[in-house]
A and B are shown apart, each in its own frame.
Chain A
């Protein structure tokens, strides 16, 4: 149903004035999508995530603006590029005071003004041929953020990419495409922030491609606060050159069904890659994280820490694959996935995987699943703290490890507040 409607939408779309290479890319992508179809649980990579509800839903094209006022995102109001239902909104953006050499624009603006800048970067990393979600996005994306940092440009303030969804009577789909290019020795913090009006149903299908050139340092955050009825799928593709450092911190609160596909290609020597995540799920939410850390070259480090807190009938999937290619000697790769089950009915599938083809490496992974320790709870109770508060306190402590690793204090504070609110509402419910 949705498959046909997507193909139909592509055929019927108003043909934009786009460069020939992009048209060819979109044509190939829709053909890929038609061939692949939505994944089924028979495919190993989709074994635990059933996308049937999404595949059977018909989505309208997104339109309209979000009439509600933008909330105040404390500490995150510096540089902002905002999108409402996938379309760039100048009203909600603050793009003044950018240093020379830093470009932050909507992708459509770049496409109409200077499309050559995108050629050879856009679609280079995300493979439409093997991933139906990337294929649908490539065929149909309307807009997204484009960030380019020239050599040596340093941006201290975080760049806030705000994606808002609201005002839909019918379920609608938003295909967002972001491209981030960190030139040589550039440095920046990018916060991707997805937020949806409560109770509306829509499908966010985002693809973000990140290039970290030699010596670049990029800190990437993703805060996912989609509506409780939303489907959220994102593919994050990262290409790292020698001496670069990329960190990713993903925090998930929203969506009824969602998935992050993260792939970091460590394509140069002395690269550092960090992928952390925290998912707080409740009440029938299903969230899936797939990471693939590809060590191609020697002397690289990668660290992964994913933590999950699951309440009620929530279901989390984590699949982390670390590949160490024959050439990647002296690799140091660490991966850890820890899950806390707060109640009956919650379910976790954890698949930490190592594939190692080089001998002089240090690779470890670990996974734990369990509930709060009775002893710790009892200890706090003997100190006069109620059991409910003790539970919240210990849950907070469990999650804090991920927050502590966030280098940007403003983002950390923002997420911490969200987390405390989440704990509060779960404790009351």
Chain B
């Protein structure tokens, strides 16, 4: 018998066949399956230089020798990689809803709660796919002018390959090598697009850079690649918003994010991930298998990851920091919420190589419904890392008796001057706290919202303001109906 997901993947393909490929769309799509020709075709369609095509091929050749990892605490039906299409055109007009009236009212309600303006709502729901793409591009362009004055390069990855090939060549794959892991290798072979950002020495990026324009791209490209370089003394704060609830399709999303921080540079990378999590019974939803890694290459550099994970059917994601430069700092703040049938296996890796490096991990996991939420992390202090310092805290909150919360930290210390601490607690939401709120006239749902937000405050405080507000609202929506 075929499982739901097989069926959904099948549906995807069926859809393409059913609607047929008329001229212009056909030219923009590749048939399902993965082989060297497909990799070459992706590369040639993007008019990539020879070295990049070769790099993709190397990755592909390595990928076929690898097996899909099974060590994580998530379960999903086996993915048939040959049944997926690795380069598909933007959504066909006939596929998505045409006006807001056709969009699922539940979805609209969600947007309303998020406070997203109508114009944006249309874009998010994929109503006006083409317009929205244009919209986003133009938005990006307005920023670009301003940024260019400062010498900041911020563009799509494909654009960067053409306009700044030297930079791309210099840094691509230096943080996440193409051999890194199954999904990263797959991404290296077939990545569609993504963003590229370079901040020159001594420049403080005056505004938060955001990848909102990628929302529509997400409808098509499931393999994005982001490369962000902060040169000496530069500062950049980067927002990644995956706040587009998707329609009922089961997509594989295997992205790679590489960050490089040189001497005295600082990168702050914030993510609010709200991919479609599937319905209450776990049908549909995104498989989010992402490799994110930052390299503190220079001394006194700092990389800070903040993530709020509320979406995806399956999440497999470990934003990491390699602390190579002396006095470099790595931070990881995370809130992961799982409800219904969602599964999350997420955490962070901190690799201390340089002297006097320090790292902080704060992870808050909330599980409700029948979901499974795991923290998996690693703190490694190499022999060279004099006076390394790490503090990790992983708190889990359980709501309801059918969910699970798990903690799997790995602590490897090879230097006696290191100071490493790890703490984890698991509790249920306090009945007395809810009662106290009830007593003050708050509904139980509001009370839960309040308590959960308090529980996560340590992380929200690290988010840029607009994001923090959005994250708080998202949290409430994600947990709706989880307390009876």
Contacts and interface: CB of A to CB of B under 8 A. Distances in A.
Interface string B412-442: 1111111111111111100000000000000
Contacts of A361: 398, 426-428
Which residue, of B400, B409, B424, B426, has the highest number of chain A Cβ atoms within 10 A? B426
A345 B412 CA distance: 13
Given A326-B401, A359-B401, A367-B421, A353 B408 contact: yes
A56 interface: no
Given A348-B412, A359-B398, A366-B423, A354 B418 contact: no
Contact of B420 (A346, A355, A370): A370
A44 B71 contact: yes
Nearest to A327: B401
A349 B407 contact: no
A11 interface: no
A365 B408 CA distance: 11
Contacts of A348: 411-413
B404 A368 contact: no
The SS class assigned to the A binding surface is strand
Interface residues of A, number: 36
A349 B411 contact: yes
Contacts of B405: 354, 356
Contacts of A385: none
B424 to A, nearest CB: 5
A348 B422 CA distance: 14
Contacts of A344: 383, 415-416
A353 B376 CA distance: 9
A362 B428 CA distance: 8
A353 B407 contact: yes
Most chain A beta carbons < 10 A, residue from B400, B407, B428: B407
Q: Size range of the interface on B?
A: 20 to 34
B236 to A, nearest CB: 33
Given A365-B407, A369-B411, A371-B417, A352 B401 contact: no
Contacts, number: 111
Nearest to B416: A341
Given A342-B416, A343-B416, A362-B426, A367 B406 contact: no
Interface in A326-355: 326, 329, 339, 341-355
Nearest to A344: B416
A356 B421 contact: no
B402 A326 contact: yes
B403 interface: yes
A354 B426 contact: yes
B411 A350 contact: yes
B425 A359 contact: no
B91 to A, nearest CB: 40
Contacts of A342: 416
B410 interface: yes
Interface string A364-379: 1111111100000000
A250 B277 CA distance: 47
B57 interface: no
A363 interface: yes
Nearest to A343: B416
Contacts of A370: 418-420
A351 B408 contact: yes
B168 interface: no
B396 interface: yes
A251 B425 CA distance: 27
B399 interface: yes
A345 to B, nearest CB: 8
A357 interface: yes
A351 B409 CA distance: 6
A170 interface: no
A356 B420 contact: no
A343 to B, nearest CB: 6
A360 interface: yes
Contact of A367 (B400, B408, B411, B418): B411
Nearest to B400: A359
Contacts of A364: 423-426
A44 B410 CA distance: 12
B428 A352 contact: no
A368 B428 contact: no
Contact of A352 (B396, B413, B415, B422): B422
Q: Give the 10 A-B residue pairs with the shortest CB-CB distance, closest first.
A: A341-B416, A359-B398, A350-B411, A363-B426, A354-B407, A367-B422, A369-B413, A369-B420, A370-B419, A357-B404
Interface of A: 44, 48, 326, 329, 339, 341-371
Given A348-B413, A354-B424, 11 more contacts: A326-B402, A351-B409, A351-B410, A353-B408, A356-B406, A357-B403, A360-B401, A367-B422, A368-B419, A368-B421, A370-B418
13 contacts: A341-B413, A341-B416, A341-B418, A349-B411, A353-B408, A354-B406, A356-B404, A359-B398, A361-B398, A362-B426, A367-B422, A368-B421, A370-B419
